[in-house]
């Protein structure tokens, strides 16, 4: 889907075709930048407060001053979708260390951030949520502070390319014999006993906002969720596998390394989580995702 025509850059809304960022910007030269992607459904933001809180933590962690307070970020997001008339899709926000007159690794004592945001109109509940995706296992070669949502995404981009070359949609990253995450999402498995397992929070994984949303459904859904690392063999032998992210929300994984997970179709636990999450964000599932109501 194309980017909506109006974007935000350093205090101004302007046509995307007119937005200009310096080639000396630290985001371009050093990947010295934080970002967030927030879903919009029915004209409302999904978990925006969580995204803003994580952005603040990442900015502090990478020494970039936070240019706005939470109400300011909320207003920026609201203004952006209003100016574009967007009812459903994603808002991408990036904050970099700014541009200076030289390429200096350390940079100035205090950075003046570059702030850029755009909206992308797209359906959030589609075929991949209905039918599931295929994944492959890959060695995790990313940096060691994955809990910060920075733009250092080369390893993830290459992982997607490898997965695509093997006929899959995404990759499950493996480090020291355990799955860390999917290429750009948190990873979950459901055991044959119905226990849901996802990796515990640490610098090894991103504290996903959608992950947090699923955790909040524990009581409503009657789920047993255990936070611990799991192995590729556990994932391959699981009854169900799914991922969570702002862009894809709850995405069933039907195949790993070419082998079917369970029946090779999205399972009942994943479907229940999808239904509850979609309902929590205000979706009429009988219209947007009637397949979550079907019996397995």
Identified catalytic residue from 149, 259, 265, 272? 149
Kindly report the average pLDDT of the chain as a whole number.
Answer: 97
Per-residue pLDDT, averaged over 102-124, amounts to 96
Distance of CA 24 to the CA centre of its chain: 28
What's the token pair of residue 158?
A: 């290459």
Per-residue pLDDT, averaged over 90-96, amounts to 98
Task: Render pLDDT for 9-55 as a digit per residue (tens, 0 to 9).
Answer: 999 999 999 999 999 999 999 999 999 999 999 999 999 999 999 99
Task: Render pLDDT for 210-256 as a digit per residue (tens, 0 to 9).
Answer: 999 999 999 999 999 999 999 999 999 999 999 999 999 999 999 99
Task: Render pLDDT for 136-172 as a digit per residue (tens, 0 to 9).
Answer: 999 999 999 999 999 999 999 999 999 999 999 999 9
Helices 70-84 and 48-61 pack at an angle, to 10 degrees, of: 120
Instruction: Record the pTM.
Output: 0.95
pLDDT exceeds 80 at position 262 = yes
The pLDDT of residue 296: 57
Residue 149 falls in the annotated catalytic set = yes
């Amino acid at each position: 889907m194309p980017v909506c025509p109006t974007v935000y850059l350093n205090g101004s809304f302007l046509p995307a075709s007119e937005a200009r960022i310096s080639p000396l910007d630290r985001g371009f030269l050093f990947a010295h930048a934080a970002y967030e992607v927030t879903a919009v459904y029915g004209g409302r933001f999904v978990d925006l407060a969580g995204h803003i809180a994580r952005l603040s933590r990442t900015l502090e962690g990478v020494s970039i001053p936070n240019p706005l307070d939470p109400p300011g970020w909320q207003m920026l997001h609201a203004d952006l979708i209003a100016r574009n008339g967007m009812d459903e899709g994603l808002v991408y926000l990036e904050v970099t260390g700014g541009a200076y007159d030289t390429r200096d690794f350390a940079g100035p004592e205090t950075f003046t951030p570059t702030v850029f945001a755009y909206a992308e109109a797209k359906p959030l509940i589609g075929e991949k949520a209905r039918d599931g995706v295929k994944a492959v296992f890959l060695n995790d070669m990313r940096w060691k502070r994955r809990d910060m949502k920075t733009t250092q995404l080369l390893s993830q981009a290459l992982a997607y390319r490898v997965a695509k070359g093997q006929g899959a949609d995404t990759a499950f990253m493996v480090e020291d014999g355990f799955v860390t995450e999917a290429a750009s999402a948190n990873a979950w498995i459901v055991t044959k006993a119905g226990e849901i397992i996802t990796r515990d929070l640490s610098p090894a994984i991103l504290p996903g906002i959608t992950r947090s949303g699923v955790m909040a459904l524990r009581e409503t859904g009657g789920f047993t969720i255990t936070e611990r690392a799991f192995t590729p063999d556990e994932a391959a032998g699981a009854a169900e596998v799914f991922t969570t992210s702002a862009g894809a929300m709850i995405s069933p994984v039907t195949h790993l390394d070419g082998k079917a997970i369970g029946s090779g179709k999205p399972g009942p636990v994943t479907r229940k989580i999808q239904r509850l999450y979609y309902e929590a964000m205000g979706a009429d599932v009988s219209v947007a995702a009637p397949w979550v109501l079907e019996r397995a």
